Amino acid sequence: MAAADDGLCYVGSPDAPFDETETWCKKHYPGCTLERDDERMAAYGRQLRDYLGGKLTWFDVPLSVRGTPFQQSVWEALKRIPHGQTCSYSDIALQIGKPSAVRAVGTAIGANPVLIVVPCHRVVGKNGSLTGFRGGMKAKEQLLRLEGVL
């Protein structure tokens, strides 16, 4: 995980090396210096652990996610998908008022920098099939099982 001054900005893929986080931060926050600050990251880590432990269904940590206005609208729609439910890419496109932008919605979902916290794992194919996830399909399946979807 990584946070900017105003909130959580990145959650990496499960079991990914630190290099993934470092590469992402250098690309999206040029010139930044990564500093380990366990105390500052404690609230983020606690909520993530509570979610993964089945004790939390909604995150209330501040976020600092950078993206285009379109990406921001998609990520906001993702945050409205209730715990234990899924929706399709088409559903998200309709929610943001861009029904023909299904592929662009998929691209924006793939660019979600805060996995789990902004629940892109809750988006499935129109027929209910599991589709791509930056964290890997095994992780997506595990998250949906945790939420009682599978």
The catalytic residue positions are: 120
Region of residue 119 (left: phi > 0; alpha: psi -120 to 50; beta: else): beta
| 134-to-30, 32, 68, 103, 113 alpha-carbon distances in Å | 22, 23, 19, 16, 10
- Beta strand 7-10 with 2-4 is antiparallel
Judge whether 122 and 144 are in contact, CB under 8 Å: yes
